Structure 1
Amino acid sequence: MAHAKRFSQIPMSKCMRDLCKEEDYTFLKSLEKQDESLEESTCVESKFQEKQEERIRRRQELKQLEREKQYEIEEQQKEKDKQWKSHVAELDVQRKAIRAKLDRLREFRDFQKKVVLQDLGLDPGSANESVNHLLRRL
């Protein structure tokens, strides 16, 4: 309490001295409150700013995660499309192979029928039930 030492050297009445002390204390308290309020306001402002920065950072992280998810979904869709196209192409190749095999089997059946009819001495244009039955058994 440096002010008390300074005021003790000034000649004044006891009542006046008490009054000055009270005024000094109120003045000092108001200064402390101003300092505290300044500190609090700077503290509040810094906290607010930190919260804002945190919100902005989280928002940016969420946007980045959303972009990454969207990119992954697009990549998965592209991969599925690619697999589907390759599957369809494979089925098309299988279909063509089966049709070619079916054509060869029909040609062979016709050839068998023609040979059996020649062996039996029948007309190749005639549709005989016994010949059809014999071919089915083969």
Structure 2
Amino acid sequence: MSEPTGPDPSTADAPTGSSAEPTPPDTSADTGDAARDLADVPAVEVITTVAVHLMSASAVKLGLAEDGERHRDLDEARKLITALAGLVTAGAGEISSFHAAPLRDGLKSLQLAFREASLVPDAPGQGPGEKYTGPVLG
């Protein structure tokens, strides 16, 4: 029987005296900093920021952004609008009407744009997010 001519490839990258499993980087400091940063942000700001991201993503998936037809995906838009409707409906009672009213208006605009973009429109009350908002009619 011959002896191996080189190092064992399964341990070639492992430092001497350690296991072959790499050690994950220490992210506890980063996590602590992020948690501390989030602790300083009011809830209304987190809610509205998430809602704006959902609105923007919905608009892109509806094809309303620049070069929109290329990014149009109504199935994805439906999911995003439904998530937005849930957030706006649940969060509206927790934030002032000063913040909730524009979110509701944006949501309704997206729901109407979805209805317009659909080749076969959903029945009233069956469109994206309408289980949370009720039927949205133009």
The two structures share one fold, judged by TM-score above 0.5: no
- TM-score with structure 1 setting the length: 0.24
- TM-score with structure 2 setting the length: 0.24
Higher-Rg member (1/2): 1
Tell me: higher relative CO, structure 1 or 2? Use CA pairs within 8 A at least 6 residues apart: 2
